[in-house]
C-alpha cells in the first residue's frame, strides 16, 4: 500500500526570499529525519518528491509508504514549518489542506466503498487507486483517514481469506458409536405434537419437551459448571446498539440480527390514528405501525455474552478479584437465518443457550478454557455417549482484531481462537458428509478483543483476557435424540436418572393430528411416560 498527496500550506503572509532559499535544506531535513521517524525501512516512511511556492502558499508533493501515511506526513511537515516560520520569520500557518490524496494498492482490485470522502476508485495497469476529496486539517487530525486505510486493509485481507467467516480444522474426535436410530427427531417431535411451529424458526415447546430441555441444562450445570465454580448471573436480552458497536457484531453480522424499536411516544393519544385503523380494518399493518415507532435502538440477544463485557467496562481488577466465572441462561437468543434452510429445532431463529463467560489474566483464561474442555469431553463422551468431533476454527473477527493468525498444520490451542463442538446426526446421512454434522456449541478465548474495546483493566496495567462458551440447548438435545432415539433403554444411566417423571404431551380432539396419535402414545411409552 502506498500513498500520495499534495500538502497545500497557506501562510499568514508571503515569506521573504531568505526563507525560500532555505526551503531546499528544510525539505532535505524533512526527508532525511522527520518523515522517516519511527520507521526502519525508508520505503515505509514518507518523502517530499517536489515542492513549489506562490505568494503565501507552499505546496509539497508527497509520496509515502505503509507506516507514515500521507496525512501523517502532511501534519509532520506543517508542525516542522510552524516552528521555523514562527521563530525566525514571525509567520503563522493559516490553513493546511491535503489535495488529491490517493491510496495506491497493488493489484487491480474490485473494492467497493461508498462513503462521502471518496472521489473515485480506479483500477488499471496492475494498480488500484483510491482518490479522496481534499481533506482539511480537522479531517486530517481525526482518525478518518486511518480508518479508511484500516478498512481497505481489512477488505484486502478478507479477500485473501476467500470471504469465509472461519477456517475449519478438526482437532479431536470421539470413537465411532454404534448407531441404533436413523429417524429424524425433528419430524417425530412435530408429528407427536411435542413441539409446534409458531413462525419461521420459532417453536412452542409443550411440557414433555420443555422438561427434557431443562434437564439437559441441569446436567450441564451440575456436571460441568458447578464443579468448576461457575455462578449464575442474569443478562438482559435486549441490548442497546452501542454495545454491538463495541463488540463488532453491529458491523460484522447485521444481516443476522433482529433489531427492536420502541414507540415514538408514551402518550396513547398519539396512537389514535393507529387505533382507528386497527378498529376499522382489523389488520396488523407493519408499514403503518412503523410510523409510530422510533428507529431501532436495540437488538435482541444475539451472542449473549456482550452485556457481560459492558458490565465489566471501566472496572479495575487486582489479583484477588480474579478470575470471574459466570453463566447466563435467563432467556433466548435470536439469530435471523434468512428465509430458507430452517428445519425443526436444528436451525432456529429463537433458541436457548447457556452462555458461559470468564475474565482473568491470559494464563487464567487459558486454564479455565482447558478445564471446561476436559469436562465437556467427559460430558459428551460419558454422560451422553455422543459421537462428536471438535474443530479449531479461526474466526475472521479474531484475525481482524489482530488477536490470532491462521495456523498451519500444527495447531496450538492455547491462544485466542474458537473450538466448535459438532455432533453426528445419523438422519442426515453418511459421516463423511460434513452436512451430517451439527455445531452444538463452541468455546472461545478472545484474547484482549473485548477487554480492549470495553476498557477492562488490571490495576497493574497488565492485560486481561476473556473467554466464552455457548451451549445450544435445543441442538444438544437434538444430537442426543438423533443418535439415541426415544427408547429410554438406549439412554445412558445419567440421562435416565435426570429425565424421569416426564409429563405427557397435550392431546385435543385434533391435536396432535389424529394420524399421529398412536405414534405419540407409543413414543411416550418408550420414553417412560405412562399413558392415561
Ligand atoms: N457468544 C458466542 C457466540 O455467539 C458463544 O455463544 O457464538
Ligand atoms: Zn459469547
Q: Ligand 1 atom 3: the closest Cα is on which residue?
A: 303
* pLDDT number for residue 180: 85
Tell me what the mean pLDDT of segment 7-31 comes to.
94
Ligand 1 site, residue 307, Cβ cutoff 6 A: no
Q: Ligand 1 atom 1: the closest Cα is on which residue?
A: 303
Going by C-alpha positions, the residue among 84, 82, 91, 78 that lies closest to residue 135 is 78
Compute the distance between CA of residue 275 and CA of residue 289 in angstroms, rounded to an integer: 10
Regarding whether 226 and 133 lie in a shared domain, the answer is no
Q: Ligand 1 atom 5: the closest Cα is on which residue?
A: 470
Ligand 1 site, residue 470, Cβ cutoff 6 A: yes
Tell me what the mean pLDDT of segment 240-265 comes to.
96
pLDDT > 90 fraction of the chain, expressed in percent and rounded: 82
Closest-lying ligand 1 atom to the alpha carbon of residue 306: 1
Going by C-alpha positions, the residue among 436, 233, 477, 234 that lies closest to residue 351 is 477
* pLDDT number for residue 532: 56
In this structure, is the dihedral angle defined by the CA atoms of residues 115, 116, 118 and 123, taken in order, positive or negative?
A: positive
In this structure, is the dihedral angle defined by the CA atoms of residues 467, 475, 259 and 239, taken in order, positive or negative?
A: negative
Compute the distance between CA of residue 170 and CA of residue 172 in angstroms, rounded to an integer: 6
pLDDT, tens only, 440-485: 999 999 999 999 999 999 999 999 999 999 999 999 999 999 999 9
Would you place residue 406 in the very low, low, confident or very high pLDDT band (cuts 50, 70, 90)? Answer: low
Ligand 1 site, residue 355, Cβ cutoff 6 A: yes
Regarding whether 375 and 501 lie in a shared domain, the answer is yes
C-alpha cell at 245: 458497536
Of residues 409 and 466, the one with the higher pLDDT is: 466
CB burial of 313-336 (b: ≥16 within 10 Å; e: otherwise) equals beeebeeeebbbbbbbbebbbbbb
Regarding whether 226 and 132 lie in a shared domain, the answer is no
List the CATH number of the domain containing 498.
3.30.930.10
Single pTM value for the model:
0.85
- Which residues have a beta carbon within 5 Å of ligand 2, which is an ion? 303, 305, 468
Query: Does 521 participate in catalysis according to the annotation?
Result: no
Regarding whether 224 and 157 lie in a shared domain, the answer is no
Q: Residue 114's CB: how many other CB atoms inside 10 A?
A: 6
pLDDT, tens only, 274-294: 999 999 999 999 999 999 999
397 belongs to a structural domain: yes
Ligand 1 site, residue 152, Cβ cutoff 6 A: no
Tell me what the mean pLDDT of segment 483-496 comes to.
96
* pLDDT number for residue 320: 97
Closest-lying ligand 1 atom to the alpha carbon of residue 303: 4
First CA to last CA across the chain, in angstroms?
75
Regarding whether 46 and 128 lie in a shared domain, the answer is yes
240 belongs to a structural domain: no
Query: Does 475 participate in catalysis according to the annotation?
Result: yes
Tell me what the mean pLDDT of segment 258-271 comes to.
98
Of residues 185 and 399, the one with the higher pLDDT is: 185
Would you place residue 410 in the very low, low, confident or very high pLDDT band (cuts 50, 70, 90)? Answer: confident
Closest-lying ligand 1 atom to the alpha carbon of residue 353: 6
Range of the domain at 453: 219-231+303-517
Q: What is the number of structural domains in the chain?
A: 2
Q: In a mutational test of the pocket of ligand 1, which residue from 235, 249, 305, 396 has the highest number of ligand atoms less than 8 Å from its CB? A: 305
Compute the distance between CA of residue 247 and CA of residue 401 in angstroms, rounded to an integer: 11
* pLDDT number for residue 531: 60
Regarding whether 135 and 29 lie in a shared domain, the answer is yes
Closest-lying ligand 1 atom to the alpha carbon of residue 442: 5
C-alpha cell at 219: 446436567
Cα dist. 66→4, 38, 75, 149 in Å? Answer: 11, 12, 16, 9
169 belongs to a structural domain: no
Query: Does 329 participate in catalysis according to the annotation?
Result: no
Query: Does 455 participate in catalysis according to the annotation?
Result: no
Helix (H) or strand (E) run with residue 188 in it:
helix 185-191
Regarding whether 224 and 107 lie in a shared domain, the answer is no
Of residues 413 and 359, the one with the higher pLDDT is: 359
Query: Does 531 participate in catalysis according to the annotation?
Result: no
3-state secondary structure (DSSP) of residue 213: helix
Q: What is the mean pLDDT of the chain?
A: 94
Tell me what the mean pLDDT of segment 2-29 comes to.
94
Q: What's the gap in Å between 445 CA and the centre of ligand 1?
A: 11
Query: Does 337 participate in catalysis according to the annotation?
Result: yes
178 belongs to a structural domain: no
Q: Which of 161, 193, 209 is a domain's end point? A: 161
Compute the distance between CA of residue 530 and CA of residue 532 in angstroms, rounded to an integer: 6
Residues whose CB is less than 8 angstroms from the CB of residue 328 and which lie 6 or more positions away in sequence, other chains included: 232, 233, 234, 235, 304, 305, 308, 354, 355, 357
Would you place residue 85 in the very low, low, confident or very high pLDDT band (cuts 50, 70, 90)? Answer: very high
* Strands 316-317, 457-458: pairing kind: parallel
Ligand 1 site, residue 304, Cβ cutoff 6 A: yes
Tell me what the mean pLDDT of segment 9-27 comes to.
93
Regarding whether 227 and 150 lie in a shared domain, the answer is no
* Strands 437-447, 457-458: pairing kind: unpaired
Q: Any idea which of 104-118, 154-168, 466-480 has the lowest mean pLDDT?
A: 154-168
Would you place residue 407 in the very low, low, confident or very high pLDDT band (cuts 50, 70, 90)? Answer: low
191 belongs to a structural domain: no
Would you place residue 409 in the very low, low, confident or very high pLDDT band (cuts 50, 70, 90)? Answer: low
Q: In a mutational test of the pocket of ligand 1, which residue from 300, 442, 476 has the highest number of ligand atoms less than 8 Å from its CB? A: 442
468 belongs to a structural domain: yes
Compute the distance between CA of residue 313 and CA of residue 456 in angstroms, rounded to an integer: 5
Regarding whether 146 and 225 lie in a shared domain, the answer is no
* pLDDT number for residue 315: 98
Q: Ligand 1 atom 4: the closest Cα is on which residue?
A: 303
20 belongs to a structural domain: yes
List the CATH number of the domain containing 155.
3.30.70.1920
Tell me what the mean pLDDT of segment 222-232 comes to.
98
Tell me what the mean pLDDT of segment 109-119 comes to.
84
Q: Ligand 1 atom 7: the closest Cα is on which residue?
A: 303
Q: What's the gap in Å between 453 CA and the centre of ligand 1?
A: 17
The residue from 22, 99, 367, 439 that is catalytic is 439
Helix (H) or strand (E) run with residue 481 in it:
helix 473-484
199 belongs to a structural domain: no
pLDDT, tens only, 497-526: 999 999 999 999 999 999 999 999 999 999
Query: Does 434 participate in catalysis according to the annotation?
Result: no
Q: How many residues are recorded in the chain?
A: 532
Would you place residue 296 in the very low, low, confident or very high pLDDT band (cuts 50, 70, 90)? Answer: very high
The residue from 47, 76, 329, 347 that is catalytic is 347
Tell me what the mean pLDDT of segment 304-308 comes to.
98
Q: What's the gap in Å between 397 CA and the centre of ligand 1?
A: 12
Q: Residue 365's CB: how many other CB atoms inside 10 A?
A: 24
pLDDT > 70 fraction of the chain, expressed in percent and rounded: 98
Would you place residue 408 in the very low, low, confident or very high pLDDT band (cuts 50, 70, 90)? Answer: low
* pLDDT number for residue 508: 98
Ligand nearest to the CA of 418: 1
Compute the distance between CA of residue 21 and CA of residue 25 in angstroms, rounded to an integer: 8
pLDDT, tens only, 523-532: 999 998 876 5
pLDDT, tens only, 318-336: 999 999 999 999 999 999 9
Compute the distance between CA of residue 518 and CA of residue 240 in angstroms, rounded to an integer: 48
Ligand 1 site, residue 135, Cβ cutoff 6 A: no
Q: Ligand 1 atom 6: the closest Cα is on which residue?
A: 470
Q: Which of 145, 161, 177 is a domain's end point? A: 161
Compute the distance between CA of residue 385 and CA of residue 495 in angstroms, rounded to an integer: 10
Regarding whether 367 and 223 lie in a shared domain, the answer is yes
Regarding whether 147 and 65 lie in a shared domain, the answer is yes
Going by C-alpha positions, the residue among 406, 404, 393 that lies closest to residue 439 is 393
Regarding whether 91 and 227 lie in a shared domain, the answer is no
C-alpha cell at 408: 498451519
Ligand 1 site, residue 253, Cβ cutoff 6 A: no
Amino acid at each position: 500500500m502506498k500513498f500520495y498527496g499534495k500538502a497545500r500550506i497557506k501562510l499568514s503572509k508571503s515569506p521573504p526570499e531568505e526563507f525560500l532559499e532555505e526551503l531546499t535544506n528544510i525539505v532535505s531535513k524533512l526527508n532525511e529525519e522527520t518523515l522517516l521517524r519511527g520507521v526502519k525501512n525508508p520505503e515505509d516512511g514518507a518523502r517530499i518528491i517536489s515542492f513549489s511556492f506562490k505568494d503565501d502558499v507552499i505546496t509539497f508533493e508527497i509520496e509515502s509508504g505503509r507506516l507514515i501515511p500521507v496525512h501523517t506526513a502532511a501534519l509532520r511537515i506543517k508542525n516542522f514549518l510552524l516552528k521555523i516560520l514562527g521563530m525566525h520569520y514571525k509567520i503563522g500557518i493559516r490553513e493546511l489542506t491535503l489535495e488529491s490524496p490517493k491510496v495506491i494498492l497493488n493489484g487491480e482490485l474490485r473494492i467497493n466503498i461508498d462513503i462521502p470522502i471518496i472521489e473515485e476508485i480506479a483500477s488499471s495497469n496492475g494498480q488500484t487507486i483510491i482518490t479522496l476529496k481534499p481533506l482539511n486539517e480537522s479531517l486530517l487530525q481525526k482518525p478518518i483517514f486511518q480508518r479508511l486505510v484500516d478498512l481497505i486493509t481489512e477488505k484486502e485481507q478478507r479477500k485473501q481469506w476467500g470471504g469465509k467467516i472461519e477456517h475449519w480444522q478438526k482437532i479431536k474426535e470421539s470413537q465411532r458409536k454404534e448407531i441404533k436410530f436413523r429417524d429424524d427427531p425433528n419430524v417425530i417431535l412435530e408429528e407427536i405434537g411435542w413441539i409446534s411451529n409458531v413462525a419461521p424458526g420459532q417453536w412452542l415447546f409443550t411440557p414433555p419437551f420443555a422438561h427434557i430441555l431443562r434437564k439437559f441444562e441441569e446436567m450441564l450445570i451440575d456436571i460441568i459448571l458447578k464443579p468448576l465454580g461457575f455462578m449464575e448471573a442474569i443478562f438482559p436480552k435486549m441490548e442497546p446498539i452501542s454495545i454491538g458497536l463495541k463488540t463488532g457484531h453491529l458491523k460484522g453480522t447485521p444481516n443476522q440480527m433482529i433489531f427492536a424499536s420502541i414507540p415514538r411516544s408514551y402518550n396513547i393519544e398519539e396512537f389514535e390514528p393507529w387505533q382507528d385503523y386497527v378498529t376499522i380494518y382489523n389488520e396488523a399493518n407493519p408499514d403503518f405501525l412503523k410510523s409510530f415507532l422510533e428507529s431501532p435502538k436495540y437488538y435482541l440477544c444475539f451472542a449473549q455474552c456482550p452485556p457481560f463485557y459492558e458490565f465489566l467496562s471501566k472496572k479495575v481488577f487486582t489479583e484477588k478479584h480474579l478470575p470471574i466465572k459466570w453463566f447466563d441462561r435467563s432467556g433466548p437468543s435470536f439469530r435471523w437465518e434468512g428465509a430458507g434452510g430452517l428445519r425443526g429445532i436444528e436451525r432456529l431463529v429463537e433458541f436457548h443457550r447457556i452462555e458461559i463467560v470468564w475474565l482473568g489474566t491470559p494464563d487464567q483464561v487459558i486454564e479455565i478454557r482447558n478445564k471446561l474442555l476436559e469436562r465437556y469431553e467427559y460430558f459428551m463422551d460419558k454422560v451422553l455417549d455422543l459421537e462428536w468431533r471438535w474443530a479449531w476454527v479461526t474466526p475472521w473477527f479474531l484475525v481482524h482484531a489482530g488477536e490470532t493468525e491462521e495456523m498451519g498444520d500444527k495447531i496450538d490451542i492455547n491462544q485466542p481462537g474458537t473450538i466448535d463442538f459438532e455432533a453426528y446426526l445419523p438422519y442426515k446421512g453418511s459421516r463423511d458428509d460434513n452436512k451430517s454434522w451439527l455445531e452444538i456449541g463452541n468455546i472461545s478465548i478472545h484474547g484482549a478483543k473485548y477487554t480492549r474495546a470495553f476498557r477492562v483493566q488490571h490495576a497493574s496495567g497488565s492485560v486481561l483476557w476473556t473467554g466464552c462458551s455457548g451451549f445450544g440447548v435445543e441442538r444438544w438435545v437434538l444430537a442426543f435424540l438423533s443418535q439415541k432415539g426415544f427408547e429410554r433403554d438406549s439412554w445412558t444411566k445419567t440421562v435416565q436418572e435426570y429425565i424421569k417423571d416426564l409429563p405427557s404431551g397435550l392431546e385435543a380432539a385434533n391435536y396432535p393430528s389424529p394420524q399421529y396419535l398412536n405414534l405419540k402414545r407409543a413414543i411416550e411409552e418408550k420414553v417412560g411416560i405412562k399413558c392415561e
